[in-house]
Structures are given as structure tokens and as C-alpha cells.
Amino acid sequence: MIEYLSNIWILLINSALFGLFTKLADLCDEHHWKPFKGAGLFFGILWGIFGAAVIIGHPLIGSFYLAILFHWILRNKIDYLNHGIATIIILISFIFVSKTYQFDWYLFGVIFVTYSIFGVLRDHKKIESNWFTRWNVYAYIILLVFAFLDRNYLIVVYSYVLNSLFYQLAKKLQK
């Protein structure tokens, strides 16, 4: 199963679907978008499944997204039932593979600290929301530096681009 999830094309497809379902779950809660009864829970479960698939599929990508997930927990962004379900699915899946997982603590730490600093500063209105913070440009800069130093990190860049693209496309449904 892990070999299947590690296929580059499967990883990239799962990254895109992870971003899509993350935003669709969010739209059901915070923006009251209700395409069908139970949509929030349904999209929360799919968010968790595809998030777990991406995290299990590649340890560098997993280290990156787990840092973001822990930053969300720190900032109390896991604030709806479907967010909690997604988080539980992702964390339980990670626990099952953690003994053989080559976790990248350096990437995790840099991303967690950076996202947390920018997030907390935005939360407390110490910095304005602008294109740099709204699009998380700081994360792309960090990932490109990692990829410049070691080409193995390019897969994280590709994953994050697709994840972000599909997350942003899902936002169009709220308009």
C-alpha cells in the first residue's frame, strides 16, 4: 500500500485532492456552503483520507504537512467537527507508519515555526494580510531554498503548488 501511495503521480493527485477537500470542508463550516446534507462531515473525512495518503506516501511531504497541521492545532484552527475528524485520520495514519518513517525534523521545525510566527502575528493584527501572507509566499521561499540545497525537496514544492492551487480553486465555490 505504501509503495502505491509513494508513486509520484499518486502523490501529486493526492496532494491536489488534499487541498481541494481541505477547503471544501472549510467552506461548509465557516462559509455555510451546503451542497448536500452531511457535506461538511463528508468533506472532512475526505480531507483526512487524502491528507493521510500524502503524509504516508512521502516522508518529506509528510514532514511539511504535519508541520502545517500542528501549526493549525497551535492556533486553534481545528475548530469544527470535520476539522477534528480530518486531524484524527491524519494523526492516526501517521502513528501507524511512524516506526519506519524517515521524518525530517529540520523541515518540520522550520515550517512549523515560520507558519506559527506569521499566523500568530496575523491573528493579533501585528502584520497585515497581503499577497505575501495570504498566499503563504514565505513557505514557497523556504521550500525553494530547501530544494536548491537538496533536489529531493522538489517533490514537496510540486505537492504544495498543487495543494495550494486546488485549495484556491475550491474557494471559487463560495462566490
Tens-of-pLDDT digits for all 175 residues of the chain? Answer: 678 889 999 999 999 999 999 999 999 998 889 999 999 999 999 999 999 999 999 999 999 999 999 999 999 999 999 999 999 999 999 999 888 889 999 999 999 999 999 999 999 999 988 899 989 999 999 999 999 999 999 999 999 999 999 999 998 887 6
DSSP letter assigned to residue 127 = S
- Say what the pTM is: 0.94
Question: Are the beta carbons of 31 and 174 closer than 8 angstroms?
Answer: yes
